[in-house]
Each structure stands twice: as structure tokens, then as C-alpha cells.
């Protein structure tokens, strides 16, 4: 592919930028991330978006959706070339950014991750991070990641030079293991992404807003979070009253501690996470369902599961194999939703990106616009 270079400030920009999505058949997640990309003006001109998936039917659904989105807004998307393929190497060829969201083995393998350990007394609510479920999900993902890294090395953007090499943005769990493996095989090749930090930040902002009766927008809430994926800790949580002309930042932890002290109803939604906050002094990112697997004390007896559950269904229920059953139950519903939406006369244009980081990271790297994430 012939590539022209222009200079934007001090940052070189490729006129023909290629962004590839591996596992584009992840319909809801894929739709969010891909339409996020289209919210940034820089990606609406001379950009190739390549969709790849091993399932041609789901790939076609995503391709048709984004194609119709483009047709609804030709003036905003006329500079975008949309491609699709079931060939991973072809998808990776000349790609500067590769977004990955595959699930190797699908629900059939996921079922074994849950059922076999349970025969030996290991109960898992989700089973995608550590323990038997996380370990075996990682092991069966290794061949895929190895092949992806080899393809990137062979045919990815600027393949024979060390500078400006392609970047993999990985959303596949177990995040820590997968990202660690990729960066051992190919140093600085991969960033692991999740939405646990953003989701928990929104939860804490909502709790503080409710307890203080101050309506807080995202710009009125600030935090510092550190740790590993699915187990990071909010070391700081601060807020400011939008009515305060001085814009004074206030420590939010006294408010959260007051929730615990008063045994507020807010605790009920995340009993286990608040119990951990009592023990450590900090609130953590991941759902009670995940956390119960990291600290199996909470899962060793039926009465403990009943005591700490935050709802009767979903991850907060702490039920064994709840995530698998949710995915199994919802099989086919996303496809039906996509087909229904394709019958809509016009899609709504997305003005701002969602909370997912991928599009913002790519925009920052291409324009030099600062973006901090964790």
C-alpha cells in the first residue's frame, strides 16, 4: 500500500490510516467501539476500517450495520473505506491499530470451564479472570495471540522497522494474562483495556451524588486508580460542587465511609465490595461476582453467598455460572436486535464516544491530543 505522510504539529500522520477490528462479530461491543471511532473528525478522512471475524454471518451483520451508518451520513463518512474479511493475515496487513475482542472456543468451551471445576468443588460466578476458568481460557487463547503477533510482525504497519510499529488494543479476557503474554513475545506491542475503572467511577460518582444531594457530572468527579485488571483500587476519589465558584476538590471517601457507617441502602447493590472497603479502606473496580472468586471465602458456604449477594440475578447474585447462563440465555438476541435495527430508516449519529478507551487512545496517538487512562 502506498502511503503519503503529512505533518500535524510535531506528529506525522499517515494519509491512509488502517484500523482493524479482530473479532468484529462481537456485535454490541463492536458497534460501540466502531461508532466511537467515527466520532473523531480525523478518522473520517482517508481511513480504512477493516472488520475480521471467523463467523461470516456475524461479520456480515456488523459490516452491513456500519455500511448503513455510513450511508446515513455520507458527508461525515465519505472518506472512510470499509472492508471485511475472514482472513486474519489479510486484516492485519498494513494495519496501524488492531482492536481485538475474540473469545476463543465460544460458549462451548466456556461451559467446560465452569462445569468441570464445579465437579471438584470449585464454584465460579464468572470464570474469565483467574482460577480454572481464567487459566484455561488463557491457555486456549495462546495459539491465537501467537498467530496474531506473527502476522503483525510479518505484514502489519511498517513491518521491517522498529519505530511506529502497530499497536494492539486487547479487550479479550483474561486481560492480565493475555496482555502479559503478548508483551513478553513482542515488547510494547499490546495495551490491555477494560471498562471496570470507568464503570466503577460512574458508580462512585452516583453514590456520592446521592448521599450529598449534589448533582455531579463526570467533570465534577476525579480519581486515581491503580492495580491490575479486574482488581484495581480507587486510591483517590474526589468531587467538587458545581455551584462552588472556587471549584474546591473534596475527598469523597468520608462520604463513602458514612454510607458504611449508616448501613445505607446503597450498600445493598455491592455488599461484597463494601465489605472489602471496610477491610482495606479503598473501593475496588470489579463486580462482587468477580471479587467473590478472588477471595473464595465468600463462596465456601451457601449462607455466605446468601449474605453477600446484591441481587437475585446477574453478577451481583454471586450465583455459580451466572455469567455463562446469561450469555447462553441471550444467544441470538443480539443478532435479532441488529436485524431489527437494520430496518430502521435512519440511524442516529453519535456525537461523542462512549466510555471505551480504544478510540480515544488512537486519536491521542494520531493527533498528539493528551489522553490519560487507567
- Report the distance separating Cα 204 and Cα 183, nearest Å: 32
Using DSSP, state whether 195 is helix, strand or coil.
coil
C-alpha cell at 113: 470451564
From 171, 181, 195, 239, active-site residue: 195
Comparing C-alpha atoms, which of 108, 158, 155 is closest to residue 136? 108
- Based on the residue annotation, tell me whether 195 is a catalytic residue of this protein: yes
Length of the chain: 374
Beta bridge partners of 84: 51
Q: Which residue has the cell 467501539?
A: 33
Burial 117-141 (b: 16+ CB within 10 A, else e): beeeebbbbbbbbbbbbbebbbeeb
Going through the chain in order, the beta strands assigned E by DSSP cover 5-8, 11-14, 17-22, 47-52, 80-85, 97-100, 167-170, 190-192, 221-228, 231-239, 250-251, 283-284
From 294, 298, 308, 357, active-site residue: 294
C-alpha neighbours within 13 Å on the C-beta side of residue 282: 15
- Based on the residue annotation, tell me whether 120 is a catalytic residue of this protein: no
Contact 119, 56 (CB under 8 A): no
Comparing C-alpha atoms, which of 168, 176, 151 is closest to residue 101? 168
Hey, what's the torsion of the CAs at 121, 126, 131, 134, to 10 degrees?
Answer: 140
Hey, what's the torsion of the CAs at 83, 89, 90, 95, to 10 degrees?
Answer: 60
Q: Which residue has the cell 492480565?
A: 176
Using DSSP, state whether 169 is helix, strand or coil.
strand
Active site residues per annotation: 195, 294
Amino acid at each position: 500500500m502506498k502511503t503519503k505522510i503529512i505533518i500535524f504539529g510535531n506528529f506525522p500522520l499517515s494519509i491512509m490510516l488502517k484500523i482493524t477490528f479482530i473479532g468484529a462479530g462481537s456485535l454490541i461491543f463492536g458497534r460501540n467501539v466502531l461508532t466511537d471511532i467515527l466520532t473523531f473528525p480525523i478518522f473520517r478522512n482517508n481511513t480504512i476500517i477493516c472488520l475480521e471475524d471467523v463467523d461470516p454471518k456475524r461479520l456480515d451483520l456488523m459490516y452491513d450495520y456500519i455500511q448503513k451508518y455510513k450511508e446515513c451520513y455520507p458527508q461525515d463518512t465519505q472518506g472512510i473505506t470499509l472492508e471485511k474479511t475472514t482472513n486474519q493475515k489479510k486484516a492485519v496487513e498494513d494495519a496501524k491499530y488492531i482492536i481485538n475482542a475474540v473469545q476463543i472456543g465460544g460458549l462451548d468451551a466456556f461451559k467446560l470451564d465452569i462445569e468441570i471445576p464445579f465437579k471438584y468443588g470449585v464454584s465460579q460466578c464468572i470464570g474469565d479472570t483467574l482460577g480454572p476458568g481464567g487459566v484455561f481460557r488463557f491457555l486456549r487463547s495462546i495459539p491465537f495471540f501467537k498467530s496474531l503477533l506473527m502476522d503483525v510482525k510479518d505484514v502489519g504497519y511498517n513491518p521491517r522497522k522498529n519505530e511506529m510499529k502497530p499497536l494492539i488494543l486487547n479487550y479479550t479476557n483474561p486481560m492480565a494474562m493475555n496482555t502479559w503474554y503478548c508483551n513478553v513475545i513482542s515488547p510494547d506491542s499490546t495495551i490491555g483495556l477494560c471498562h471496570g475503572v470507568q464503570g466503577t467511577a460512574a458508580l462512585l460518582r452516583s453514590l456520592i451524588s446521592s448521599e450529598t444531594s449534589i448533582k455531579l457530572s463526570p467533570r465534577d468527579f476525579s480519581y486515581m486508580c491503580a492495580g491490575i485488571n479486574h482488581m484495581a483500587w480507587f486510591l483517590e476519589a474526589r468531587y467538587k460542587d458545581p455551584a462552588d465558584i472556587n471549584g474546591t476538590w473534596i475527598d469523597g471517601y468520608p462520604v463513602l465511609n458514612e454510607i458504611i457507617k449508616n448501613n445505607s441502602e446503597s450498600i445493598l447493590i455491592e455488599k461484597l465490595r463494601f465489605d472489602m472497603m471496610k477491610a482495606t479502606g479503598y473501593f475496588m473496580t470489579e463486580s462482587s461476582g468477580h471479587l467473590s472468586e478472588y477471595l473464595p471465602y465468600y463462596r465456601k458456604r451457601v449462607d455466605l453467598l446468601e449474605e453477600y449477594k446484591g441481587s437475585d440475578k446477574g453478577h451481583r447474585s454471586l450465583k455459580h455460572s451466572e455469567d455463562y447462563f446469561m450469555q447462553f440465555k441471550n444467544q441470538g438476541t443480539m443478532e435479532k436486535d441488529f436485524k431489527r435495527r437494520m430496518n430502521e430508516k435512519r440511524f442516529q449519529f453519535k456525537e461523542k464516544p462512549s466510555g471505551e478507551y480504544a478510540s480515544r487512545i488512537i486519536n491521542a496517538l494520531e493527533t498528539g491530543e493528551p489522553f490519560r487512562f487507567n
